[in-house]
Amino acid sequence: MEIHYLTAHQLKDILEKKQISCTEIVESVYLRIEEVGDRLNSYIRLEKESALSRAGEVDKLISAGSDIEDFMGMPIAIKDNICTKNITTTCASRILENYIPIYNATVIDRLESRNYILAGKANMDEFAMGSSNENSYFGTVKNPWDTDRVPGGSSGGPAVCVAAGEAVCSLGSDTGGSIRQPASLCGVVGFKPTYGMVSRYGLVAFASSLDQIGPLTRDVEDCAAMLNIICGYDRKDSTSINVEVPDYKSFLKADIKDMRIGVPKELMVEGIDREVKEAVYRIIKLVEDMGGIVEEISLPSLEYALSVYYIIAPSEASSNLSRFDGVRYGYRNVEARTLREMYRRSRAEGFGDEVKRRIMIGTYCLSAGYYDAYYEKAQRVRTLVINDFKKAFEKFDVLISPTSPTTAFKIGEKMEDPLTMYLSDICTIPVNLAGLPAISIPAGLSGSKLPIGLQIIGNVLREDNVLKVAYSLEKAIGFTGRPGL
Amino acid sequence: MAVLRGNLMERISKDDVKHVAKLAELEFSEKDIEKITSQLDRILEHVANISSVNTEGITPTSHILDIKNVFRDDMAEQSVTQESALKNAPDEANDGFKVPKID
């Protein structure tokens, strides 16, 4: 198989056997980017020169006898809302087009200590708001399986880089499904860890009580290896959990005998494509063949999860995005003659339509007279969602569902109707409200050769169960599809 | 059609949207106001379905962790230098951020 489609652990093996150099790996990835990059638009910025020079340094380390650690010398794509020191971090917004962070996000420091290589900054929906990657100031990202279709969002760029061989793996962020849904639509693995397991320091905030950084990879093994690097306490993030970090790779065992697996019936109802449902039923059969115990369960409050999310996330966003005022960084309208006029015009010209829409929803929900009916009420219903999950996990080790109700939809199809677009995240949003760990793995292809994703949800801090089931099912499903471009 | 929002029977009006835009320091053209009013109306109508949920005695969740206040020792450390803090400023003067006249 082509070098650019190998996983990080496969590349590590052949690096150890001296069958390849790190420079050759980086060169092959950039060759691939040159071949398909214009058609996919998955990167906002490439770092070819520095990547090649870093690769040379890593090759020297290896020939000097250094141990080869996971992801050492691997070209990795980073979503452009994760701060990289001295390298633009735009959030795919005009307002941050020229923003150059003066510090690294904690996850970047952690990767640098493992000698990773920054391939480039990946495209995304502006400020991570979107489910199709059509809301980028730098243009729509295309799905490599069918370039007339969306890759999902908001981590569309990171998902496409992994699916099309433009990076070995990538980091994205997930507020309501922004890692899992594009992973599903592009046929790769995407993981959202328990809230608080990965430091959010240096992740440009969208909705702080929901945001979490996580990996997009070609298989579950790479995903576990990446969790080993990025998870762990960070004093710079006051919502970081101070618990011992397990060796996530130790959970990669293909054995789910006697594990209890619940299927929330609220995530298998109307709006889910027939083919997507069938894929889930096929997997239920596989689970049973492997000795797992599958049962349907009801989580009644999930019916309200979308509403809760579309009050809480925009409310937090409207507050977080108030910092973009044209004073300390970012775009400024230079014609404005007074401060207030400068604020308004800079923000009106700097933000795109969806970002403005969400700032408006959030500001409305938090404004005098509406706070109790919207924001506080949503926070109470959020508690009910959490209670439903708690109850479910008394009985089950994991829950499974489709990741996305449909396969990749056509570019432009949902742009005129925000509410229909929001429904794309119906299966992933409840997980963020409860802060749970969840993965999307490829479940197969639809009749029209588009990837379908399966979501596996675990209880808080039970990444072990999620990885175990994901690894077992990945082996049983045996998905080997590659986009034909 | 009137919709139930919390305890309020009302729809969002163009004037509401203009007021909220002011609070959010945003501005829209008349044409955009029209469009965003109908979009917000539809979204708010949908999310208002939570008003039918019984939440009596339920505590609101602001985030899922048990963590309350996080304190650290009050020790002076090297922080960001003035030079790097100003690196991304659209305008600066006398080692500070420069803004238009405050109205």
Q: Let me know how long chain B is.
A: 103
Burial of B81 (0-12, 13-18, 19+ CB in 10 A): exposed
Tokens standing for A83? 């701060």
Spatial distance between the Cα atoms of A410 and A101, rounded to a whole number of angstroms: 35
Encoded amino acid at A93, one letter: S
Structure tokens at A418: 């925000």
Which uninterrupted H or E stretch holds A400? strand A398-402
DSSP letter, residue A456:
E
A with B: how many residue pairs have Cβ under 8 Å apart? 180
Q: What's the token pair of residue A339?
A: 């401060």
**Which ranges in A351-395 belong to alpha helices (H)?**
353-366, 377-395
Torsion of the alpha carbons at B5, B8, B11 and B17, rounded to the nearest 10: -90
User: Is pLDDT at B8 greater than 70 in this prediction?
Assistant: no
Residue A251 in 3-state DSSP? helix
Q: What tens digit of pLDDT does each residue of A212-267 get?
A: 999 999 999 999 999 999 999 999 999 999 999 999 999 999 999 999 999 999 99
Q: What is the ipTM of this complex?
A: 0.92
Mutation for A interface: B13, B63, B64, most A CBs within 10 A: B64
Q: Could you please report the per-residue DSSP string of A218-243?
A: SSHHHHHHHHHHHBS--TT-TT----
A366 Cα distance to chain centroid: 28
Q: Give the closest-approach CA distance of B99 to chain A in angstroms.
A: 6
SS3 B93: strand
Taking alpha carbons only, the member of A354, A320, A352 closest to residue B40 is A354
Nearest one of A174, A181, A183, A192 to A217, comparing CA atoms: A183
- Arithmetic mean of pLDDT, A470-482: 96
- In angstroms, the Cα distances linking A443 to A254, A412, A440, A479 are 16, 26, 9, 7
Interface-testing mutation among B14, B15, B20, with chain A (most A C-beta atoms within 10 A): B20
Distance between CA atoms of residues A21 and A310, nearest Å: 48
Task: State the pLDDT at residue B10.
Answer: 66
Put simply, whether A368 touches B (Cβ < 8 Å) is no
Residue A81, pLDDT score? 98
Q: What pLDDT digit, counting tens, does each position of A401-453 carry?
A: 999 999 999 999 999 889 889 999 999 999 999 999 999 999 999 999 999 99
User: Taking 60 as the threshold, does the pLDDT of residue B2 lie above it?
Assistant: no
- pLDDT single digits (tens) B47-74: 999 999 999 999 999 888 887 788 888 9
Give the whole-angstrom CA distance, residue A123 versus residue A110.
22
pLDDT 10s digits, A100-120: 999 999 999 999 999 999 999
Give, as one character, the DSSP assignment of residue A205.
P
d(CA A16, CA A358): 49
pLDDT band at residue B7 using 50, 70 and 90 as cut-offs: very low
In which element (H, E) is residue B19 found? Answer: helix B14-23
* Interchain pair B72, A340: CB under 8 A: no
CA dihedral A208→A210→A214→A217, nearest 10 degrees, is -140
Q: Between A129 and B103, whose confidence is greater?
A: A129
Q: Would an 8 Å CB–CB cutoff place A367 in contact with chain B?
A: yes
Cβ pair B64:A376 closer than 8 A: no
| Alpha-helical runs (H) found in A248-333 | 274-289, 305-320
